[in-house]
Amino acid sequence: MNSHRLRTGGRIDRAHPLTFTFDGTVHTGYQGDTLASALLANGVRTFTTSLTHGRPRGIYAAGVDEPNALVGLHPDPHAPDAAARPAEPMTQATVTELYDGLRATSLRGKGRLEAGRPGDHGRHDAMHAHCDVLVVGAGPAGLTAARTAASTGARVVLLDEQPEMGGSLLGTREHIADRPALEWVRHALAELAGRAETTLLTRTTAVGCYDHNYVVAAERRLPAAGGGGRLWQIRARRIVFATGAHERPLLFADNDRPGVMLAGAARTYANRYGTLPGRRAVVAANNDSAYAAALELADAGLEIARIVDARDHVPPYWAARCADRHIDVSAGHVVVGSRGGDGTVTAALLAAREGDGTASSAADCDLLLVSGGWNPAVQLHTQSGGRTRYDERLCCHVPHEPDPRRRVAGAARGLARLGDCLADGAAAGADAASDLGLSAGQTPQPPGAWEPAPLPPLWPLPACPAAGDPAAQYVDMQRDATLADIERAVGGGMRSVEHVKRYTTIGTAHDQGRTSGVTAAAATAGVLGVPVAELGTTTNRPPYTPVPFALLAGRARGRLHDPVRTTPLHAWHLARGAVFENVGQWKRPRYYPRPGEDMATAVDRECRAAREGVAAMDVSTLGKIDIQGPDAAEFLNRVYTGGFAKLRVGSCRYGVMCTADGMVFDDGVTMRLAEDRFQMSTTTGNAAAVLDWLEEWLQTEWPQLRVFCTSVTEQWAGVAVVGPRARAVLARLAPQLPLENGDFPFMAWRDAEVAGLPARVARISFSGELAFEVYVSGWDGAALWEAVLETGAVEGITPYGTETMHVLRAEKGYVIVGQDTDGSVTPQDLGMDWAVSTRKDFIGRRSHRRPDTSRPDRKHLVGLLPWDTGELLPEGSHLVCAGSGEPEARTPVPSLGHVTSSYRSAALGRTFALALVRGGRDRIGGTVHVALGDRTVAAQVTEPVFYDREGSRRDG
Amino acid sequence: MQLIPCPWCGDRDEVEFHYGGQAHLVHPADPDALSDEEWAGYLFLRDNPAGWFAERWSHAAGCRRWFNVLRHTVTHEVYGAYLPGEPVPVIAS
């Protein structure tokens, strides 16, 4: 139907019609339209109803500054390219490129989240680029900046948010050198495209500028191009922000009716999209740009009923051109209100600017175009630390003393005339290149000191005190926030724009205050009676425009979100139906359920096998660090709390590491392989941190120590063979290896052939049982594991997982660093004084004498036996004291500590737990209470060793 | 995303590094000679200037070497990197 479409002109392809649906009605548009331009062409005036006031609203702008025209996009799930068209819950119709089959719904009122909406599974990628000069914005200033910089040989990236480059020139009929400006744009782009070191990106919005010129830009791809997007991360040596400016609205009563529109937006709709947003317009302005818009619109066929200029004197240039076209101009007048019918504007109410605000006349119109001047788009500039100052003439904040590494050019620094923007961009591009030692030949001169005609203050306060009801003067249309809200905020005592912003919510919506920000600041200053410059501005934060989370995630989602580490035995675990748990990035079998078994049953069975027969576990994930060098023993002596200097080759020792503040950091068993070589083991999840820790001390404190550390975690696969029958199994696997206690004592290691494989065997036990850990090359891991299971079949060898390992070690009171400790626990708190040498220094030793670490009422590791032997205390439960002898319950009830480990024990036939309890060792034999929601459970405090306290089982 | 100059690998993105806090803190040779207050000072008290700060970085996802960087804590400007044991560079005013 396209009732408002011009027959010719614009950058749409009339030979390529597109069908789309808006709020259930089918419309037609053209290739090159936005959803907004196509709807205007179809005569759609009222677009939505507002957030809280329920007022009708129409399309107001033509770009990312649009406050009203928000839509949700619903792709056809049956379309062949459905995956490329993710549901888009909220976007602006003014930046939505029309495509055939597009289905859009206006977002009315507060909207709601729709359950079951398909997520965005489009293909999103990350791109990394490095350049000499990044130019953001391909309008007149950006194009000249890029051209000049590229001509020096600089590597240039030029990006722009629009589907085609040209910026404001796409929406005007300006001329450059007496030729249509778009011819110049075409020529400039052809020149840039021919440069091998220049990258041109359209549909790409720079959304953030971060430290050291790191710019993140979001590129959209059309469904026809596969959809999704690319997240560009660009490191630029120099940046030119040529981000343009956004037109400022005017405040008057009922300034939000459909049909009220920014003058520059109407100009763009006519020139770029061949669409007239109305038939008869009144133009309200305080600056020259609205004249250019009005005249181009008049030439396109729009009746301009009147131009209302707040200035007392119309510039003669524009006065003459208006007279030529018989356009009436009311100088010294302002619009103080509007009339509406059917929800849309039908007349503008005019009054003298210096009057009392009473409307002196009404001008009929169906389009009320407003222009309050232009706000430079300084968001990226200020985000990256740039300052602004308030320009009294332009009534806006302009960049102030920009860092030369991030220049601002053109309209983004307040320039208004095309010639000035072209020259300014060229100078910025040349200067940027010249900073890098690249010469542009004759350096273009930036425009001279520019003295714009000052805008008359068109803020309703105090210049025009009676411009209608403040509650009908909309400052932020998207938030339905009015001048009355600002008055209320200031009346409530708020003095800072940041506070007013948060109280009124102005500037917090989808458009982030692009139209409302300066207006709100000026209105606030007006109410407060202070200069705008004194008030300052709110803070711009990234992103400049909304970015889909799916784009930020890129490919790093689902399976690719984080690396998954598996051991050489993983395939076997999978085939046997192991239930896995994540330990750091590792997948470790937690237990191996047999058919019909739940976890408790399976773990019970696995525990019995280890305590009564023989069981085997994949221990490949333990961190392993090869430590070599003449000073290796001295080094270990310093990092471990225990002594390692005298450890004999062929033996191993358990060690605890502390941080300098004396807190337990890691533990593990270290083997001495040679006089100058050790192999340290670390907890699975802490391996990288321990290696970093060792390197830190070696490199920064003790560079004189000749020690080298290498991670060998993945070079070895390990199998623990555990239980009273372990020796029998190993004897058949390694017939050459003497296994009796005298030959191969506890905490010794031997190199041997096991199952025909070269192996290293260590007598280490994390269960209290007789146990051997067998290590082979990672390549041989699967063969070793299968040999162990096959050989042990006679003894009923049982594979077990981490859950059983936890139960077995907790029964013995062996701690797991990171589970039973949390960075505030000393070895002494754990009752591990035996592992702390008193005869040498080590990292953290001095801290064990600090008043805080030697307090008697520190939290100690103790055991807990719930009175009810079937009660499994949740790990993390808090402990309180209560009952006889304790003071009456105070609130809040002080916590004595918490449960760190809690299991069912097959060996004990009951539940048990480990806990950190304040003054815990002095409470042994006493009772604590565990707060479990609405009930409290009593538990006896015990020694933290529950099983084989004498240690009689480890030798078999 | 700051650009950190690794003395061995060149400029790399901040995500490749671990931050190590204030540089030039020396582990006391004889901790027992220190009072509790002095030892607590070594453990816990750090400078926190709004300005130039000599700090330690480690190229954790690269060469794994520790080095020092003179960096401005307000502007994040990096003056330069230097090796452990070398003196803090003097900034020409």
Q: Please give the pLDDT value at position A784.
A: 98
Chain B: closest CA distance from residue A543 (Å): 15
Same domain, residue pair A632 and A499 = no
Alpha carbons within 13 A on the beta-carbon side of A286: 21
Which of A209, A211, A661 to mutate to probe the B interface, most B CBs <10 Å? A211
Count how many domains chain A has. Answer: 7
pLDDT tens sequence across B67-77: 999 999 999 99
Least CB-CB distance to B84: which of A210, A703, A841?
A703
Q: Please give the pLDDT value at position A461.
A: 43
Q: Please give the pLDDT value at position A81.
A: 64
CATH no. of B3-82: 3.30.2270.10
CA angle A687, A691, A695 (to 5 degrees): 170
pLDDT tens sequence across A346-378: 999 999 888 777 878 999 999 999 999 999 999
pLDDT tens sequence across B14-44: 999 999 999 999 999 999 999 999 999 999 9
**Domain ranges across chain B:** 3-82
Nearest-Cα residue of chain A relative to residue B36: A850
Judge: B43–A661 Cβ closer than 8 Å, yes or no: yes
pLDDT bin (cut points 50, 70, 90) of residue A464 is low
Nearest-Cα residue of chain B relative to residue A851: B36
Q: Please give the pLDDT value at position A402.
A: 82
Same domain, residue pair A336 and A475 = no
Query: Residue A278 and residue A283: Cα distance in Å, rounded?
Result: 12
Contact (Cβ atoms closer than 8 angstroms) between residue A220 and residue A162: no
Q: Is B66 on the interface with A (CB under 8 A)?
A: yes
Reduced to 3 states (helix: H, G, I; strand: E, B; else coil), residue A295 is: helix
To 10 degrees, the CA torsion angle through A543, A544, A549, A550? -130
Is B65's pLDDT higher than 90?
yes
Is A931's pLDDT higher than 90?
no
Q: Please give the pLDDT value at position A456.
A: 62
Sequential DSSP letters for A424-492 = HHHHHHHHHHHHTT---SSPPPPP----PPPPP---TTTTSTTSS-GGG-EEETTTTEEHHHHHHHHHT
Last residue within a domain, chosen from A669, A696, A714: A714
DSSP letter at A402 equals: -
Is A418's pLDDT higher than 60?
yes
Same domain, residue pair A46 and A71 = yes
pLDDT tens sequence across A168-221: 999 999 999 889 999 999 999 999 999 999 999 999 999 999 999 999 999 998
Judge: A847–B65 Cβ closer than 8 Å, yes or no: no
* Structural domain includes residue A485: yes
Query: Residue A766 and residue A723: Cα distance in Å, rounded?
Result: 11
Closest by CA to A243, choosing from A358, A408, A132, A397, is A408
Q: Please give the pLDDT value at position A509.
A: 87
Same domain, residue pair A601 and A723 = yes
Last residue within a domain, chosen from A779, A809, A839: A809
Share of chain A above pLDDT 70, in %: 94
Mean pLDDT of chain A: 92
Q: Please give the pLDDT value at position A443.
A: 64
Sheet of strand A260-262: strand arrangement: A260-262, A367-371, A280-285, A303-309, A329-331
Same domain, residue pair A423 and A478 = no
Same domain, residue pair A946 and A915 = yes
Query: Residue B31 and residue A843: Cα distance in Å, rounded?
Result: 10
Strand partners, A875: none
Q: Please give the pLDDT value at position A4.
A: 94
* Structural domain includes residue A178: yes
Same domain, residue pair A520 and A593 = no
* Structural domain includes residue A563: no
Same domain, residue pair A201 and A229 = yes
If residue A733 lies in a helix (H) or strand (E), which one and from where to where? helix A726-733
Angle between helices A140-151 and A418-435 in degrees, nearest 10: 30
Last residue within a domain, chosen from A328, A354, A370: A370
Contact (Cβ atoms closer than 8 angstroms) between residue B6 and residue B12: yes
Closest by CA to A482, choosing from A471, A491, A492, A493, is A471
Share of chain A above pLDDT 90, in %: 80
pLDDT tens sequence across A635-679: 999 999 999 999 999 999 999 999 999 999 999 999 999 999 999
* Structural domain includes residue A257: no
Is A508's pLDDT higher than 60?
yes
Q: Helices (DSSP H) in A576-657: which residue ranges? A: 599-612, 632-639
Chain B contact set for A849 (CB, 8 A): 36
Chain A: closest CA distance from residue B84 (Å): 6
Q: Please give the pLDDT value at position A463.
A: 45
Tokens of A444: 């273009």
Domain of residue A939, CATH code: 2.40.30.110
Closest by CA to A918, choosing from A881, A946, A873, A884, is A881
Global pTM value? 0.90
Reduced to 3 states (helix: H, G, I; strand: E, B; else coil), residue A498 is: helix
Same domain, residue pair A236 and A129 = yes
For chain A, the distance separating the N- and C-terminal CA atoms, rounded to the nearest angstrom, is 92
Same domain, residue pair A617 and A733 = yes
Range of the domain at A462: 456-530
Sequential DSSP letters for B20-33 = EEES-----S-GGG
* Structural domain includes residue A955: yes
Is A271's pLDDT higher than 90?
yes
If residue A671 lies in a helix (H) or strand (E), which one and from where to where? strand A664-674
Chain B contact set for A846 (CB, 8 A): 28, 31-32, 34, 39
Average pLDDT over residues A233-253: 95
pLDDT tens sequence across A778-810: 999 999 999 999 999 999 999 999 999 999 999
Q: Please give the pLDDT value at position A647.
A: 96
Q: Please give the pLDDT value at position A885.
A: 46
Which of A212, A383, A384, A840 to mutate to probe the B interface, most B CBs <10 Å? A212
Q: Please give the pLDDT value at position A881.
A: 83
Query: Residue A392 and residue A396: Cα distance in Å, rounded?
Result: 7
pLDDT bin (cut points 50, 70, 90) of residue A444 is low
Average pLDDT over residues A33-41: 97
Contact (Cβ atoms closer than 8 angstroms) between residue A862 and residue A917: yes
Contact residues of A toward B, CB < 8 A: 210-212, 214, 233, 235, 385, 660-661, 692, 695-696, 699-701, 703, 841, 845-847, 849-851
Query: How far, CA to CA in Å, does A592 sit from each of A564, A650, A765, A797, A801?
Result: 20, 34, 21, 13, 7
Query: Residue A20 and residue A3: Cα distance in Å, rounded?
Result: 16
Question: How many Cβ pairs within 8 Å bridge chains A and B?
Answer: 59
Is A884's pLDDT higher than 50?
no
Average pLDDT over residues A67-77: 84
* Structural domain includes residue A838: no
* Structural domain includes residue A444: no
Mean pLDDT of chain B: 95
Contact (Cβ atoms closer than 8 angstroms) between residue B67 and residue B82: yes
Q: Please give the pLDDT value at position A460.
A: 44
If residue A789 lies in a helix (H) or strand (E), which one and from where to where? helix A781-791
Bond before A892 cis per omega within 30 degrees: yes
Least CB-CB distance to A699: which of B39, B78, B84?
B84
Domain of residue A416, CATH code: 3.50.50.60
- The backbone torsions φ and ψ at residue A769, rounded to the nearest 5 degrees and listed phi first, read -90, 165
Contact (Cβ atoms closer than 8 angstroms) between residue A374 and residue A245: yes
Q: Please give the pLDDT value at position A536.
A: 83
Judge: B36–A851 Cβ closer than 8 Å, yes or no: yes
